[in-house]
Amino acid sequence: MEWFSDIKNPQIDLSIIIPMYNVEDYIIDTLNSMKGVRDFKVELILIDDGSTDNTLNLTKEWAGNSDFDICILTKENEGPSIARNLGLSKARGELVTFFDSDDIALSYLYTDVINIILSHNVDFCIFRGSSFDHVTQKVHEFPDYYVWDKIMGGAEFKVLTPHQEPRLARLEPSAVVRVYRKEFITSNEIQFPENLFFEDVLFHEKCILNAKKIALLNKTLLLYRVNREGQTTGSFGKKRQDILKVIELIISDYSKIRVTDDIWANLIGLLIRMNVWCSENCAYEDKADFVKRSVSLFSEIPKNVIEIYMKEYSYNDWEAKLCKAFIEGNEKVLNISAEGGYPIFDNVQEPFHTYENKVSLDSIDGKIEHLFSQQKEGWAHDRFNVLNAKLESLVALNKELNEKLGRKVSVSAVIKKIFKG
């Protein structure tokens, strides 16, 4: 392990921990984006995780001309969890956050976040993120935008408890859209799980279940780069099954950590969505086994917990039907979902009333948006033909339902709504 450090301040307010691996084309943009923090002492802890390109040399050159306190560590490639845990052990700040080495920070907002945490005595602060396409440069909201809208109700800032607002557990689990009190993390012995993909999900669960007060800042600080060559979230294969190991670890906490079932319901709702997304994106030959293992895992959660999410918190009819499938252990419906199909149950006659049609149309719009987001976010590189076929089918069904309702809504209007014009 090699150290390159430049210590200017004996006390640090915020430590920003950034693992790096073969990001020579992006790291300088990321580091430059950190320069907006004002009025507080900040250190950057940069962990080179065995890069084989010029990442380390570029970072050292940048550090030599920086006003930040900087610590650079080098190690063999072991993945982001081990790198983050190492950075956390070296952090001197009262507050800590994590960042990815190819993303962009609107870092002037860290000043707001630090002030909020210090003045309101919260365990951590969550802010919003957006994704931007590396190829097209288009920017899109994170997939949890509707959860934010429901929680915040137009407010710019709130301090809440998980008991008061269980939907905190349903927010995107990414650690890079949070700033934590270091003492909160260390006193609760929270770490990233080593050698597992989806490491943020377990970290999120531990933080939510142990938090007393959480602040929310309804502003976007993170621009998450997608659709670039070599990106982890763009990879496929066996690592998708790591979500099952993460789910197993979280479910094992159900009997150990006593919080309300509404908090657990929102955690389970998050896990169900991630599970279905992974089942869609794992190798085709693994899908049936993936679904079988998923059903077995979720059967360990009391059915009433999933029912709470289905009835009280599900975003649309699509989410509700996925919950229903897990409650019933319906592998047939979940296998269809794993292949990208819409979850439909056999022998269920739904009355064709306006209310039911409204639910169906909302769920179709939600599913279309879900599918387009996979394309926008660069997470479906080898599935465009399948996605396009599914989109055409959903748009056709949308048109059919609108015609039965006597509504003159064109397919192009539906598409424009999704892409916001």
Condensed to tens digits (0 to 9), the pLDDT of residues 67-92 reads 899 999 999 999 999 999 999 999 99
Between 381 and 262, where is the model more confident?
262
pLDDT at 409 over 70: no
Between 394 and 359, where is the model more confident?
394
pLDDT at 400 over 80: no
Range of lowest pLDDT (41-45, 255-259, 289-293, 417-421): 417-421
For residues 193-210, average pLDDT: 96
pLDDT at 145 over 80: yes
pLDDT at 182: 98
Range of lowest pLDDT (40-49, 136-145, 297-306): 136-145
Per-residue tokens: 122: 């919260």
pLDDT at 358: 45
Tokens 């990106």 -> residue:
231
For residues 258-266, average pLDDT: 95
pLDDT at 402: 72
pLDDT at 360: 53
Under the banding of pLDDT at 50, 70 and 90, the label for residue 156 is: very high
Under the banding of pLDDT at 50, 70 and 90, the label for residue 210 is: very high
List of residues 6+ apart from 167 with CB closer than 8 A: 147, 150, 151, 266, 313
C-beta of residue 373 within 8 angstroms of C-beta of residue 140: yes
2: β partners: 74
Under the banding of pLDDT at 50, 70 and 90, the label for residue 297 is: very high
pLDDT at 227 over 90: no
Under the banding of pLDDT at 50, 70 and 90, the label for residue 387 is: low
Cα–chain-centroid distance for residue 188?
22
22: β partners: none
Under the banding of pLDDT at 50, 70 and 90, the label for residue 356 is: very low
pLDDT at 354: 37
pLDDT at 417: 46
Percent of the chain with pLDDT over 90: 68
b/e map of 212-227 (b: 16 or more CB within 10 Å)? eebbbbbebbbebbbb
Under the banding of pLDDT at 50, 70 and 90, the label for residue 401 is: confident
pLDDT at 384 over 70: no
pLDDT at 412: 47
Nearest 5°: the CA angle 141, 143, 145 is: 65
pLDDT at 376: 44
C-beta of residue 315 within 8 angstroms of C-beta of residue 366: yes
Between 229 and 244, where is the model more confident?
244
Backbone angles phi, psi at 271, to 5 degrees: -65, -35
pLDDT at 359: 45
C-beta of residue 234 within 8 angstroms of C-beta of residue 379: yes
pLDDT at 236 over 50: no
Per-residue tokens: 128: 């919003």
pLDDT at 267 over 90: yes
Between 258 and 128, where is the model more confident?
128
CA–CA distance, 248 with 152 (Å, rounded to integer) = 31
Condensed to tens digits (0 to 9), the pLDDT of residues 165-197 reads 999 999 999 999 999 999 999 999 999 999 999
